[in-house]
C-alpha cells in the first residue's frame, strides 16, 4: 500500500478542507486519504504537525536492554534514536508503567498517545514492552499505542504489534548501505552472537526493510527516524527517504546528531559534529521532494510527559501518583469531552484560517523565515523572554509552512545577573539567525533593540492570534511596505 502523505492532516469532518497555508499536501492527496488513516493521525502529536499544538504524548521507560550499538549512544543514557543523549529515565515495571499511564490520562485529558521508546530498544525487551501494551489496550482503549525501534527484532515482532492494535511504529533507519552502516553501528547482537562491521550493518538494514514492508502490509503507520550525521550519512539520507517512501512509510523524521564529549559516546569523544540548523533544514527540504517530513520532533526523553517540547514527568513520579486521589470513571468521561472539544476547535480554526491566510502575494516573491514564540494551542501566546525555543515558519506566496524549532536558553529568569542575562539574550538572538521577524505576545525594551540591531523585526502586535494567520499577515505587510523587494545579503538562508 502506498499511502498518500501530508503534513497537517485534517480531522475527518474537514476532509479536503486543509488550508494551503499549513498543509504540505495537495488537495488531491488530502482527498485520497482514507478516513481510517485520518482518524489515526488527527490527534497524534508526532504524526500531525497541527495536532502537536494541542495533544500530548507520554513515554514509559520499561525497556532497558538493547540489541545493537550505535556510535551516538552511551548505554548509561536513554536510547538516542528517539531521545536527547545524556538523559536518564527511571526504569518502570509494566505494572508501574500502566499505573503511571492511567494517572497521566486522568490528569492530562489531552494525552492521546502512549509511546515506548527506551531507555533501550523496546523490541529487544518483548515481554516488558508487550505486557505494558497488553494491559493498556484493555484498561485504556482510547489511548493510542506507539513504539520506536532500531528494527533489528522487528520482523519477528510484527504479529504481536498487530495483535495489540498498535497503529504507529517508528523505525530508526540511518542508512540502506552497509558500508555507511559500519561507520554508525560497530556491532549488532544477532542469534546469540555479536556481528561486527559491514556484516552486522547489512543484517540490521535487511531487518529494518523487511520490518517496514511487513508493517505497511498490515496497514500500520510507519514513521522513519534518521539521525543526520555530517560526513557519514548526510549525502545519503535523501536516497533513504526515497526508498522508505516507495515502500509505504508514512512520515520521515530527520533528526540532528547531538554528540558531546561529556556524553561519553564514540562520536562525542571522537569530535564528530552534528549538523547546523541550516544543514538540517536543507536536508529536510531535499528529502521532502520525495516524502512528507516531520519537522517538529523534540527528541523526547524515554519518560517524557506532556505536549512535545514540554516535560511534566516530575509531576508523575511513583510516590506522587500514590498520593493522588483519582476518580477514574469521571476522568475517562472528561477525556472524551475534552478531546472532542479540541478536535471541533481545530476544525473551526482551520476553516477560518483557510480563508484568512490565503496568500495575496505575487508568485515569485521571495520567501521569508519568521520566528514565533508559543506555548501551545497554535497561538502566539508567549513572552519573548520566556521562550525556551522558537518555532520557525517560512512564509511565501504559496502560504505558511512550519520549518523547524530552535532551542534557546531562557534569559528572563527574573533573578539573573545583568552580565549573564546579556550573554543569554545574545545567544537567543543568535539562535534566530536567518529570520527576518519574531512574533511573540510581549517583548522587553532591551531585546527589542538588540533584535533590531541584528536585522530581525520584533513584533508583539499579533498576541493570541493563530500562528499561520499572524505569520501571513506580517509577510503581507512586508510585501506591501516593499521589504520583500530585496533580500538582505546576510539573510540569504531565508529562501531555503
Residues that bind ligand SF4 (CB under 6 A): 66, 68-70, 73, 79-81, 120-121, 150
Q: Check binding of 403 to ligand CLF (CB under 6 A).
A: no
Query: Please, which residue, 157 or 408, has the CB nearer to ligand SF4?
Result: 157
Q: Which of 25, 125, 148, 233 binds ligand CLF (CB under 6 A)?
A: 148
Query: Please, which residue, 148 or 209, has the CB nearer to ligand CLF?
Result: 148
Q: Which of 38, 99, 298, 349 binds ligand CLF (CB under 6 A)?
A: 298
Count of residues that interact with ligand CLF, criterion CB under 6 A: 18
Q: Contact letters (x/-) for ligand CLF, 10-49, by CB under 6 A?
A: ------------------------------------x---
Nearest to 68 by CA among 249, 158, 197, 180: 197
Q: Which does 374 bind (CB under 5 to 8 A by kind): ligand CLF, ligand SF4, none?
A: none
Q: Which does 150 bind (CB under 5 to 8 A by kind): ligand CLF, ligand SF4, none?
A: ligand SF4
Query: Please, which residue, 60 or 184, has the CB nearer to ligand CLF?
Result: 60
Residue facing ligand CLF at closest CB distance: 115
Query: Please, which residue, 122 or 399, has the CB nearer to ligand SF4?
Result: 122
Query: Please, which residue, 39 or 452, has the CB nearer to ligand CLF?
Result: 39
Q: Which does 284 bind (CB under 5 to 8 A by kind): ligand SF4, ligand CLF, none?
A: none
- Pairwise CA distance, residues 348 & 164, whole Å: 33
Query: Please, which residue, 206 or 285, has the CB nearer to ligand SF4?
Result: 206
Stretch 253-272 residues interacting with ligand CLF (CB under 6 A): 253
Q: Which of 204, 308, 346, 395 binds ligand CLF (CB under 6 A)?
A: 308
Q: Which does 303 bind (CB under 5 to 8 A by kind): ligand CLF, ligand SF4, none?
A: none
Query: Please, which residue, 78 or 465, has the CB nearer to ligand SF4?
Result: 78
Q: Which does 429 bind (CB under 5 to 8 A by kind): ligand CLF, ligand SF4, none?
A: none
Instruction: Give me the least distance between CB of 163 and ligand CLF, in Å please.
Output: 18
> Is the backbone peptide bond immediately before 119 cis, with ω within 30 degrees of 0?
yes
Query: Please, which residue, 81 or 408, has the CB nearer to ligand SF4?
Result: 81
Would you state the cell numbers that stand for residue 340, as one nine-digit string?
472532542
Q: Contact letters (x/-) for ligand CLF, 76-115, by CB under 6 A?
A: ------x------------------------------x-x
Query: Please, which residue, 77 or 411, has the CB nearer to ligand SF4?
Result: 77
Instruction: Give me the least distance between CB of 120 and ligand SF4, in Å please.
Output: 5
3-state per-residue secondary structure call for the chain: CCCCCCCCCCCHHHCCCCCCCCCCCCHHHHHHCCHHHHHHHCCCCCCCCCHHHCCEEEECCCECCCCEECCCCCCCCCCCCCCCCCCCCCCCCHHHHHHHHHHHHHHCCCEEEEEECCECCHHHCHHHHHHHHHHHHHHCCCCEEEEEECCCCHHHHHHHHHHCCCCEEEEECCCCCHHHHHHHCCEEEECCEEEEHHHHHHHHHHHHHHHHHHHHHCCCEEEEEEEECCCCCCCCHHHHHHHHHHCCCCEEEEEECCCCHHHCCHHHHHCCCCCCHHHHHHHHHHHHCCCCEECCCCCCCCCCEECCCCCCHHHHCHHHHHHCCCCHHHHHHHHHHHHHHHHHHHHHHHHHHHHHCCCCCCCCCCCEEEEECCCCCCECCCEHHHCCEEEEEEEECCEEEEEEEEECCCCCCCCCCHHHHHHHHHHHHHHCCCCCEEECCECCHHHHHHHHHCCCEEECCCCCCEHHHHHHHHHHHHHHCCCCCCCCHHHHHHHC
Stretch 117-136 residues interacting with ligand CLF (CB under 6 A): 117
Residues that bind ligand CLF (CB under 6 A): 46, 57, 59, 82, 113, 115, 117, 146, 148, 168, 170, 223, 253, 297-300, 308
Amino acid at each position: 500500500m502506498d499511502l498518500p502523505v501530508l503534513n497537517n492532516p485534517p480531522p475527518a469532518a474537514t476532509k479536503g478542507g486543509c488550508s494551503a497555508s499549513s498543509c504540505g499536501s495537495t488537495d488531491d492527496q488530502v482527498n485520497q486519504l482514507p478516513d481510517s488513516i485520518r482518524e489515526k493521525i488527527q490527534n497524534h502529536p508526532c504524526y500531525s504537525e497541527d495536532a502537536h499544538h494541542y495533544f500530548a504524548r507520554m513515554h514509559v521507560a520499561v525497556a532497558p536492554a538493547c540489541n545493537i550499538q550505535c556510535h551516538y549512544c552511551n548505554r548509561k543514557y536513554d536510547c538516542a534514536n528517539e531521545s536527547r543523549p545524556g538523559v536518564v529515565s527511571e526504569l518502570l515495571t509494566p505494572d508501574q508503567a500502566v499505573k503511571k499511564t492511567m494517572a497521566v490520562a486522568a490528569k492530562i485529558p489531552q494525552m492521546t498517545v502512549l509511546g515506548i521508546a527506551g531507555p533501550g530498544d523496546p523490541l529487544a525487551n518483548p515481554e516488558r514492552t508487550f505486557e505494558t501494551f497488553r494491559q493498556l489496550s484493555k484498561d485504556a482503549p482510547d489511548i493510542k499505542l506507539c513504539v520506536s525501534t532500531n528494527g533489528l527484532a522487528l520482523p519477528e515482532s510484527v504479529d504481536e504489534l498487530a495483535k495489540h492494535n498498535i497503529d504507529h511504529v517508528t523505525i530508526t533507519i540511518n542508512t540502506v548501505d552497509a558500508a555507511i552502516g559500519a561507520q554508525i553501528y560497530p556491532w549488532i547482537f544477532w542469534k546469540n552472537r555479536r556481528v561486527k562491521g559491514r556484516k552486522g550493518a547489512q543484517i540490521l538494514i535487511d531487518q529494518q526493510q523487511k520490518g517496514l514492508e511487513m508493517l505497511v502490509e498490515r496497514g500500520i503507520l510507519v514513521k522513519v527516524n534518521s539521525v543526520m550525521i555530517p560526513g557519514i550519512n548526510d549525502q545519503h539520507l535523501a536516497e533513504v527517504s526515497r526508498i522508505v517512501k516507495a515502500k509505504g512509510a508514512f512520515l520521515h523524521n530527520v533528526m540532528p546528531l547531538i554528540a558531546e564529549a561529556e556524553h561519553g559516546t564514540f562520536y562525542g569523544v571522537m569530535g564528530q559534529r552534528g549538523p547546523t540548523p541550516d544543514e538540517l533544514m536543507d536536508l529536510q527540504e531535499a528529502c521532502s521532494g520525495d516524502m512528507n517530513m516531520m519537522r517538529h520532533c523534540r527528541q523526547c526523553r524515554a519518560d517524557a510527559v506532556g505536549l512535545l517540547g514540554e516535560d511534566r514527568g516530575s509531576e508523575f513520579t511513583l510516590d506522587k501518583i500514590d498520593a493522588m486521589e483519582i476518580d477514574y470513571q469521571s476522568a475517562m468521561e472528561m477525556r472524551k469531552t475534552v478531546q472532542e472539544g479540541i478536535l471541533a476547535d481545530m476544525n473551526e480554526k482551520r476553516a477560518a484560517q483557510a480563508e484568512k491566510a490565503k496568500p495575496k502575494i505575487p508568485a515569485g516573491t521571495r520567501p521569508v523565515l519568521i520566528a514565533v514564540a508559543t506555548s501551545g494551542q497554535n497561538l502566539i501566546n508567549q513572552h519573548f523572554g520566556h521562550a525556551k525555543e522558537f518555532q520557525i515558519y517560512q512564509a511565501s506566496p504559496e502560504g505558511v509552512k512550519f520549518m523547524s524549532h530552535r532551542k534557546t536558553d531562557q534569559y528572563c529568569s527574573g533573578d539573573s545577573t545583568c552580565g549573564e542575562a546579556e550573554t543569554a539574550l545574545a545567544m537567543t538572538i543568535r539562535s534566530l539567525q536567518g529570520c527576518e521577524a519574531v512574533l511573540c505576545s510581549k517583548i522587553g525594551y532591551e531585546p527589542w533593540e538588540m533584535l533590531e540591531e541584528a536585522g530581525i523585526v520584533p513584533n508583539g502586535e499579533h498576541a493570541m492570534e493563530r500562528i499561520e494567520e499572524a505569520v501571513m499577515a506580517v509577510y503581507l505587510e512586508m510585501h506591501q511596505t516593499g521589504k520583500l523587494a530585496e533580500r538582505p545579503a546576510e539573510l540569504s538562508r531565508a529562501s531555503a
